[in-house]
């Protein structure tokens, strides 16, 4: 539990944002991979034999293990992800149905996971690995046709005494944020937007007390070099392109504007040795559907180990969900929010043009699905990928969809209704 009142405004706020034409690809993509990977992955939630449950990438922080800067920096000497395989990571995302990848270039701990000239505290210069894994990922994403983007902690940097939120004192009196900003933050963001090809997303985090000038300086830097790159709302001061909602939150009702829900495959962002709470294949598919049905994008995180391997349980759940998503692609990619604005007891609805997609999470044993207030008549009804018989009846204001009493053989069956006329 983080109690410091200085943390109050750290997370940022929910805003309705829209990037206009620049956001059109985002409305299509709908599903992305988030990756938290850094020196904290090496600790995996454990410091000197004690486990700190919860937010593993925060383990250095004074509210968790309170690791000194020197002790933490020493972790870099052992960071050697010999099993890292950009091709395998990108293939996993692709086969899971994800359309872009966002990875931690620098988290709050301040360690750059790429070759940075602006700070020698980076994987190429301070670790035995010597390679730039993020360059390899960027190139591989381009090769396999996925988008690529960076997470960058612009405000908190616990390695820098001038950045907000150093390891012991969140707001030291002699801190000169502008100095950190000019000497590390800006130069590193410049590296990221100039040395890795086209970026889909620059994902900032915990804006805290960022001034509008500082937020805008980063926005302008991104725009100058990457005019098509989207910026998330955690840049602060309302100047982003799309809104990142609170972590792991699927909103109960439709949300307008461009937004995403960020979530994890288990309960942790970074790799945690103890966390086996893996989401099932069905849960992941359900979450993708539910977020799309509310109007958003789902960005689902994995936490690779420090050796570069990805827990097999995470891979299996993702690939299982991917198999379902790929065989129901039309109901997810580019689909829009449910006209009913919230979920039904049996499932949830997405829309494309004059087509309604009824995703049935809990098959009703009555063999009937009731849709309230739909005035259109229906020209065609089917179950995607199956030849089951479906009939439609109207009972007053209700449209009754008559389906088989037994669930057809699909993890989440989808009933497609083609409407006559506009929705
Ligand atoms: C931030 C980070 O502090 C955390 O380590 C992780 O990277 C996560 C994705 O983002 O934590 C947050 C940020 C915002 C909220 C919650 C946790 N929020 O808005 O609810």
In tens, the pLDDT along 399-412 reads 999 999 999 999 99
Q: Look at ligand 1, atom 5, and give the residue with the nearest C-alpha.
A: 57
Residue 11 beta carbon below 6 angstroms from any ligand 1 atom: yes
Residue 245 beta carbon below 6 angstroms from any ligand 1 atom: no
The pTM (predicted TM-score) of the whole model is 0.96
Q: Quote the CA–CA distance of 38 and 103 in Å, as a whole number.
A: 10
The pLDDT tens digits of the residues spanning 91-114 come to 999 999 999 999 999 999 999 999
Residue 262 beta carbon below 6 angstroms from any ligand 1 atom: yes
59 CA to middle of ligand 1, Å? 14
206 CA to middle of ligand 1, Å? 7
Quick one: which of 214, 219, 216, 206 has its CA closest to 176?
A: 214
First to last CA, the chain: 46
Residue 60 beta carbon below 6 angstroms from any ligand 1 atom: no
The pLDDT tens digits of the residues spanning 158-198 come to 999 899 876 667 677 788 999 999 999 999 999 999 999 99
φ/ψ of residue 102, rounded to 5: -120, 125
Query: Region 320-328: what's the mean pLDDT?
Result: 98
Query: Region 153-161: what's the mean pLDDT?
Result: 95
Q: Look at ligand 1, atom 9, and give the residue with the nearest C-alpha.
A: 247
Q: Return the CA Rg of the chain.
A: 23
Q: Look at ligand 1, atom 3, and give the residue with the nearest C-alpha.
A: 206
Q: Is the per-residue pLDDT at 6 higher than 90?
A: no
159 CA to middle of ligand 1, Å? 19
Residue 241 beta carbon below 6 angstroms from any ligand 1 atom: no
The upper half-sphere exposure of residue 254, i.e. CA atoms within 13 Å in the direction of its Cβ, equals 16
Secondary structure E strands in 281-390: 297-302, 347-352, 355-360, 368-372, 378-383
CB 329, CB 296: distance < 8 Å: no
ipTM value: 0.95
Q: Quote the CA–CA distance of 192 and 245 in Å, as a whole number.
A: 24
pLDDT at 5 (0 to 100): 43
Q: Quote the CA–CA distance of 150 and 93 in Å, as a whole number.
A: 15
pLDDT at 282 (0 to 100): 98
Residue 246 beta carbon below 6 angstroms from any ligand 1 atom: yes
CB 159, CB 109: distance < 8 Å: yes
Q: Quote the CA–CA distance of 58 and 55 in Å, as a whole number.
A: 6
Residue 284 beta carbon below 6 angstroms from any ligand 1 atom: no
Query: Region 77-103: what's the mean pLDDT?
Result: 98
Residue 191 beta carbon below 6 angstroms from any ligand 1 atom: no
The pLDDT tens digits of the residues spanning 232-287 come to 999 999 999 999 987 677 899 999 999 999 999 999 999 999 999 999 999 999 99
* Segment among 20-29, 162-171, 382-391 with least mean pLDDT: 162-171
DSSP string, 226-260: -TT-EEBGGGSTT-SSBEE-STT---SS---SSEE
């Amino acid at each position: 539990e983080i109690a410091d009142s200085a943390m109050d405004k750290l997370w940022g706020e929910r805003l309705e944002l829209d990037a206009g034409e620049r956001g059109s690809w985002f409305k299509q993509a709908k599903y992305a991979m988030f990756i938290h990977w850094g020196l904290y992955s090496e600790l995996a939630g454990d410091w000197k034999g004690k486990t700190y449950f919860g937010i593993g990438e925060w383990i250095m922080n004074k509210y968790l293990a309170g690791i000194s800067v020197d002790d933490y920096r020493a972790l870099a000497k052992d960071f050697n992800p010999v099993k890292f395989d950009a091709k395998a990571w990108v293939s996993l995302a692709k086969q899971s149905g994800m359309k872009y990848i966002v990875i931690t270039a620098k988290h709050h701990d301040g360690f750059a996971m790429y070759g940075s000239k602006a700070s020698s505290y980076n994987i190429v210069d301070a670790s035995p690995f010597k390679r730039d894994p993020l360059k390899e990922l960027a190139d591989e994403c381009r090769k396999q046709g996925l988008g690529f983007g960076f997470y960058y902690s612009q405000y908190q940097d616990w390695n820098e005494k001038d950045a907000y939120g150093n390891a012991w004192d969140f707001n030291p009196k002699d801190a000169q944020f502008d100095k950190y900003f000019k000497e590390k933050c800006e130069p590193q963001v410049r590296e990221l937007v100039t040395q890795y090809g086209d970026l889909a997303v620059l994902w900032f985090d915990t804006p805290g007390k960022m001034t509008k000038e500082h937020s805008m300086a980063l926005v302008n830097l991104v725009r100058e070099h990457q005019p098509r790159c989207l910026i998330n709302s955690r840049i602060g001061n309302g100047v982003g392109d799309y809104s990142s909602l609170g972590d792991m939150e699927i909103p109960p009702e439709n949300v307008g504007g461009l937004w995403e829900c960020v979530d994890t495959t288990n309960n942790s962002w970074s790799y945690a040795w103890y966390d086996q709470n893996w989401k099932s294949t069905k849960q992941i598919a359900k979450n993708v559907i539910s977020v799309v049905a509310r109007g958003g994008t789902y960005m689902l995180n994995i936490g690779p180990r420090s050796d570069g391997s990805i827990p097999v349980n995470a891979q299996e759940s993702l690939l299982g969900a991917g198999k379902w998503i790929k065989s129901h692609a039309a109901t997810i990619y580019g689909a829009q929010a449910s006209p009913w604005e919230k979920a039904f007891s049996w499932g949830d609805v997405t829309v494309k043009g004059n087509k309604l997609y009824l995703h049935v999470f809990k098959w009703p044993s009555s063999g009937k699905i009731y849709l309230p207030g739909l005035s259109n008549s229906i020209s065609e009804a089917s179950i995607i990928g199956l030849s089951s018989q479906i009939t439609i009846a109207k009972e007053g204001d209700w449209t009754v969809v008559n389906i088989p009493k037994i669930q057809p053989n699909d993890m989440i069956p989808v009933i497609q209704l083609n409407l006559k006329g506009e929705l």
